[in-house]
A and B are shown apart, each in its own frame.
Chain A
Amino acid sequence: MPSGWRNSPSQHQTVSYSTTDETFVVGYRFARSGLHVEVDGVALNDVRLIKEGSHGVVIRINGMQTFYRCHKDDLVWYVSTNAGAVTFTEAPRFPTAVVAVPTGSLLAPMPGRVVSVEAAAGDTVTAGQTVVVIEAMKMEHTIAAPSAGILESVDVAVGDQVEANQILASLVATA
């Protein structure tokens, strides 16, 4: 079974490799007519896999045949040829989405009663610093600042009954 076999091929297999200066998106597909390769969307002429082994491949690109010795360490690839070496970092297939630090509103995790307010509007707080404590179902829940910042407002007072997801305080994060 050819690698990446498709009865209806719609695209190349792609993977992107970065040096410290540059990123190359390599696309490849093994087809009946041979190996198709493109880099950054530009097709390379006449690429052939001549020989494969556990430590490298012999590849002919446009007539030039080279033995590439390849080693992998996690997402880092070390390639060496007789002309020298290069190190690539492979982009993960599923990049971790940049999760915005949930600053802004501090919400009540469940309905309860405010038992303590430990900071006031205008206070500078550090990440993890307790702002409000609520009691619900006989348990105390600490609502802490998710990041360092300045409290824009504290919207509850001791003794207040709060709903789930009610805003307890607002924070402006500092860089």
Chain B
Amino acid sequence: MPRIHSQVDRNSDSFKSNVAGNTVLLEEFEALMAKSRSGGGDKYIERHRKRGKLLVRERLELLLDRDSPFLELSPLAAWGQDFPLSASCVTGIGVVNGVECAISGHDPTIRGGSSNPITLAKTLRLQDIARANRLPLINLVESGGADLPTQADVWLPGGKWFRNLTQMSKAGIPTVALVFGSSTAGGAYVPGMCDYAVLVKDRSKVFLGGPPLVKMATGEEATDEELGGALMHSTVSGLGDYYATDEYEAIRMGRDIVGHLNWRKLGQAPGSFVEPAEDSEDLLGIIPTDLKKPFDMREVIARIVDASEFDEYKATYGTSLITGWATVHGYPVGIIANQQGVIFSPEAEKATEFIQLCNQYDQPIVFIHNVTGYMVGKEYEQGGIIKDGAKMINAVANSEVPHIALMAGASYGAGNYGMSGYGYEPRFVIGWPNYKGAVMGGEQLAGVLSIINRAAAEARGQDIDEEQEAARRQMIEMQIEKESSAYYNTGRVRDDGLIDPRDTRPTLGLLLSAIHNNEVKGTNQWGVFRM
């Protein structure tokens, strides 16, 4: 395969200023990541430890195979909202007893591990990932249930949580609940719906109603242990499948359960590979902090793919978009990347063909976003840009090979759709901390609104207050900028998490490996292509 030879000049001013700018951006990102790991603060962590309990990340680390990688998903969920950063839970993909699993764990140091609407969104997203990629799901349970002040936004959509569990079971995807503490009311259905429930002596409490509720409901006096203790469930009710004497044993049992699943990945095994010839550190000098400046996607690809080798398809046609094949950690992939932001008709056609080819040969596709949209203007409309864009969207929407969207820069308007954005249900959406996504750029959107305003005012025969208009325009621009930021989107679980650009290769490798737990198969059935 041909190798990409980097043209990057590490001594150039732009490289150096990009490094400086990205370093600042990544410091901000790292600070948020650190905050997301900090749980409910020292006081609650101390209290939790005093009870002889492990923190959720300690449980997670013990569950994982030693030295194996783990990709945390949506670490910055709830950013910019009234809920704690990370949304009181940890989710991710890791290796348990040699098997890649989707893992979710409540953080009981944050408001008792209760579920708010973002917790729910994050948990449901993990379930979707587990289902789509056929990953056994392990729940590390210790939660006080729904966050009562926001119950209205949790209760109805929350039903899906349990429905998913049993549907996964039906689909032959194992579900495991390791119950370290409370799992009450609706939460009781987590061990209830899972294939395996491990309960911890004197710790697990699984009941529909606790002593006060029972007293209210029926007048019966009952203790926690009688209603939902681990021993009761393991010897009387039979809800508990494994009775652990402590948390360590529960985790070991969880690992043993995965060990006996006789798990076989359905996708192909990766081939051998060599690391990229180009250094991923350079990415900080390649990616501009100002998204208006385009950057060379071949330089990015050279730092992501095996041996920096990339077999480019139609390199000289539709050059605003790059298509081609490579392998990442030994997994073959097709790559579609925006080189100059705009998609013209040739680019749309090229992408359509490429997506069909990848489906023909069962190759997952990585979409690298830096797209400002489909080209507008008389020439292009008359040239059929809608028809060509529709072809591309048709291909993306009906493609059945797994897609991974990497939000590298801008992702505006229908360009996001054509590049298999969030709404197109790619298997994973991973973003760099500086990506932006919206219907269009803030400045453009404010400008468009301003033009419409002026036209309306003129139609009404009113004068424009220029000062007021400028302020209004600026306010809109700021709002759009904020709402299109990576943090805003990741905070609402509209992606699967932000990563340091230098972590792109390991992240893609992990995701591709996870994807191959399921069958990777393309299609040759498409919607009607406009010609």
Query: Residues of A at under 8 Å CB distance from B?
Result: 1-8, 10-11, 13, 15, 32, 93-95, 97, 99
Contact = CB atoms under 8 A, between A and B. Distances in A.
A49 to B, nearest CB: 13
A5 B66 CA distance: 11
Contacts of B329: 1
Nearest to B329: A1
Contact of B500 (A2, A7, A93, A97): A7
B245 A4 contact: no
B42 interface: no
Interface stretch (B10-18, B56-64, B406-414): B56-64
B69 interface: yes
B210 interface: no
Interface in B216-272: 244-246, 248-249, 251-252
B248 A6 contact: no
Contacts of B510: 1, 5
Nearest to A95: B248
Nearest to A97: B245
A115 B65 CA distance: 52
B37 A8 contact: yes
Given A7-B500, A15-B66, A99 B507 contact: no
Given A94-B252, A99-B245, A2 B61 contact: no
8 contacts: A1-B509, A3-B67, A6-B70, A7-B71, A7-B506, A11-B57, A13-B61, A93-B66
Given A11-B57, A32-B502, A93-B62, A5 B248 contact: no
A1 B69 contact: yes
A97 B66 contact: no
A76 B81 CA distance: 51
A8 B36 contact: yes
B520 interface: no
Contacts of A99: 245
Nearest to B246: A97
A contacts with B: majority SS: loop
Given A6-B69, A6-B70, A94-B251, 17 more contacts: A1-B506, A3-B67, A4-B68, A5-B70, A5-B506, A6-B72, A7-B497, A7-B499, A7-B500, A7-B506, A8-B33, A10-B61, A11-B61, A13-B67, A93-B66, A97-B245, A97-B248
B249 A94 contact: yes
Contacts of A13: 61, 66-67
Interface of B: 33, 36-37, 57-58, 61-62, 66-72, 75, 244-246, 248-249, 251-252, 329, 497, 499-500, 502-503, 506-507, 509-510
A6 B33 CA distance: 12
A10 B69 contact: no
B69 A5 contact: yes
B506 A2 contact: yes
Contacts of B69: 1-2, 4-6
Contacts of B248: 94-95, 97
Contact of B72 (A1, A7, A94, A95): A7
B94 to A, nearest CB: 9
Nearest to B251: A94
A5 B64 CA distance: 12
Contacts of A32: 502
Contacts of B249: 94, 97
A73 to B, nearest CB: 19
A94 to B, nearest CB: 4
Nearest to A14: B61
B497 to A, nearest CB: 7
A171 B506 CA distance: 59
A103 to B, nearest CB: 16
Contacts of A3: 67
Contacts of A97: 244-246, 248-249
B238 to A, nearest CB: 14
Nearest to B235: A165
Instruction: Report which residue of A2, A6, A7 has the largest number of chain B beta carbons within 10 angstroms of its beta carbon.
Output: A7
A4 B500 contact: no
Contacts of B68: 4
A10 B62 contact: no
A145 to B, nearest CB: 21
Nearest to A98: B245
Nearest to B94: A6
A13 B67 CA distance: 7
A99 B69 CA distance: 33
Nearest to B505: A1
B36 A4 contact: no
B62 to A, nearest CB: 7
A7 B507 contact: yes
A101 to B, nearest CB: 13
A3 B70 CA distance: 10
Given A3-B67, A97-B245, A99-B245, A8 B75 contact: yes
Nearest to B499: A7
Contacts of B500: 7
A10 B245 contact: no
A136 to B, nearest CB: 17
Nearest to B255: A94
A99 B249 CA distance: 11
Nearest to B280: A32
Nearest to A9: B37
Nearest to A100: B245
A98 to B, nearest CB: 8
A32 B57 CA distance: 21
B454 to A, nearest CB: 47
Contacts of A95: 248
Contacts of B246: 97
A13 B66 CA distance: 7
A11 B58 contact: yes
A94 B65 CA distance: 12
A10 B45 CA distance: 14
A95 to B, nearest CB: 6
B453 to A, nearest CB: 44
Given A94-B252, A97-B249, A99-B245, A8 B62 contact: no
A10 B67 contact: no
A5 to B, nearest CB: 4
B37 A10 contact: yes
A7 B507 CA distance: 8
A67 B252 CA distance: 34
